[in-house]
Chains A and B, each alone.
Chain A
Amino acid sequence: MAIRINIDVMLAKRKIRSNELAQMIGITVQNLSILKTGKAKAIRLSTLEALCRHLQCQPGDLLEYVDEERRQ
């Protein structure tokens, strides 16, 4: 997927564990893992909002576009 979700980076910066974040934003650890591993097909605006609120960041800090064709 050309869109990367950099939750790991923000978690490290904020020193928050995955399971703590999952509990804070009200999703399961499995779903957070889907986000972290890039398997997610879509992200709800409400989830993005909760992530930004608890990680104190902007959507742009979490989402990154990587042009995979150019990289190759």
Chain B
Amino acid sequence: MNQYHKIARTSRCYVVLLTILLVLVPVAHGAVWLFFEHLPADWLRPRSYAIVGGVSPLTRVLGFAVSMIKGIVVMYGLWVLIRLFKLYQKGIFFQAENVRCFKHLSRTLVLWAFAGVLVTPLLSVVLTMNNPPGQRVVEVTLQSADLTALVVGGMLAVIAAVMEDGERLQTEVDLTV
């Protein structure tokens, strides 16, 4: 089995896995908000403030909408990855389409970091909106995962630039007879 077949086979597996994940993201978000009260106390629930007023249907809908801000970014990232692995499956490695995928992935990670910063305060507002006055909270956090995404996004931007040069070289090789 040559290298191309190995890459194609592995890429096929990743396409399947990522497609499943793409479907699971909104389903998982929906399930979390549907069964929010039944979730274990230390799992996905905020620890820095209490939800006194309960979780109303409106809270669930708003919570789902807010959490899907990050979810949509993740779904977009997964969709770009599926596109990239489909290209690898076809044996397309250093073409303009690959470079576009890397650029989009880089932007997605940066977007994910900003979405992370945005979602936490919005979620705290939604979850404590039924609390009595004085117990409503706006939580602002900067998580290490968001910072990591920002750094990795920057690295991917550099890799995309290198890939762009690789694409130029590949075109030159393709047009050398």
**Residues of A with Cβ closer than 8 Å to B?**
27, 31-32, 34-35, 39-44, 47
Contact = CB atoms under 8 A, between A and B. Distances in A.
Contacts of A44: 176-177
Contacts of B176: 40-44
Contacts of A47: 177
Q: How large is the interface on B (under 10, 10 to 19, 20 to 34, 35 or more residues)?
A: under 10
Contacts, number: 23
B-side binding surface: helix, strand, loop or mixed?
A: mixed
Nearest to A28: B177
Interface of B: 171-172, 175-177
Contacts of B171: 41
A56 to B, nearest CB: 20
A39 B171 CA distance: 11
B143 to A, nearest CB: 48
Closest 8 CB pairs of A and B: A41-B175, A42-B176, A31-B177, A35-B177, A40-B177, A41-B172, A40-B175, A47-B177
Nearest to B175: A41
B74 to A, nearest CB: 40
A65 B13 CA distance: 51
